[in-house]
Structure 1
Amino acid sequence: MSEMLKSKQGTLRAQTDVPVAVLIAGTAMVAIKCISILLLLGELGLSGLSEFVSTSAQAWDSTLIFLAGIVMLCLQIYCGFAVMRGKNGGRWGYVACQALVVGYLLLATIGSVFPEVFTVDGETNTQIMHTLILEKIPDVVILGLLFLPAASRRYFSRR
């Protein structure tokens, strides 16, 4: 065992050239989505979760939106791991996911274009926009960590 520790075999090798901002952003991407799932499960409980799924499965369009939401959640978690591995596509994938999520939420809540499986609470357009902005602050901070620091830009440009 001591020889293994001396030769550093069997230990995880950390990528020392990964900027701290990128590691924080990738970890936050994964953690925020996983914690939000746990909080949602805790708030709804099993009966609320089954009611939500059954309500979402009443029509084809709401079922497709529900399944697209699950795929989007998995894609955002994947993007978090890709960012931590230094893949530039991970950060651009996260930008695309956020654009799609914000676009859907605005169209479903304000425009009533899509089925309202996922919506933003609010009675007026101003309240809806205020709530949406508050909900997206963590994602904007993550995007800032991925795109603004010079070390992050250099890290993704050389890969």
Structure 2
Amino acid sequence: MGFFKKTVHHAKLNVPALVQVAAIAIIMIRCVDVLMVFNLLGWRGLLDFVQRSAQTWSLTLVFLGSLFLVFIEILCAFSVVKGRRWARWLYLGTQVVATGYLWAASLGYGYPELFSIAGSSRREIFHALVMQKLPDLLVLFLLFVPAPSRRFFRLQ
């Protein structure tokens, strides 16, 4: 063998189906979100949004923060399949941050308008926010509640 050491990487084939479904759902939810933004704004509207976001530091930070959050969520999706405990907690954290910002922006405490939910009352906004975040809540449920998911993260 001499100078060369063989490193053997064993694939973890015992990933519960619920964890796999959750990871795929995270990626698909983010992809559909991006497609819906493109559909809503179109290319011209998207370029205008990026230009508006680059006009002030606060809007630029919100825009870059939202992109960073999407990348973190996708990283979490790949990491939960590997059994990384921190990934599901980080995903929970991203959802708390995103939901909190959406709620605040919808009540008029944040910018831009794209990151807010329209509604005539707090109750209406809250209902729309819960409906919008329902897929993410389901993913969190799949990662934290079923016994096979909890056992998988405990063993890793």
TM-score by length of 2: 0.87
Percent identical among aligned pairs is 37
Partner of 2:109: 113
Per-residue deviation, 1:151: 0.6
Give the equivalent residue in structure 2 for 1:5.
none
Structure 1 unpaired stretches of 5+: 1-12
1:60-139 to 2 correspondences below 5 Å: 60-110=57-107, 112-117=108-113, 118-139=115-136
- Unpaired runs of 5+ residues, structure 2, are 1-9
Q: 1:56 aligns with which of 20, 29, 53?
A: 53
Aligned pairs, number: 146
Q: Tell me the distance in 2 between the aligned counterparts of 1:34 and 1:70.
A: 12
Q: Which residue of 2 aligns with 1:151?
A: 148
Letter in 2 for 1:131: A
Q: Does 1:41 align with 2:29?
A: no
- Measured after TM superposition, the shift of residue 39 of structure 1 is 2.5
Amino acid paired to 2:79: A
Task: Please give the secondary structure, in 1, of the residue aligned with 2:118.
Answer: coil
CA deviations over 1:43-91 (Å, ceiling 9, x no partner): 3221011011112222111111111001001111111111111111110
**Pair 107,43 (structure 1): closer, same or farther in 2 beyond 3 Å:** closer
Where do 4+ consecutive residues of structure 1 move more than 4 Å? none
CA RMSD of aligned residues (A): 1.5
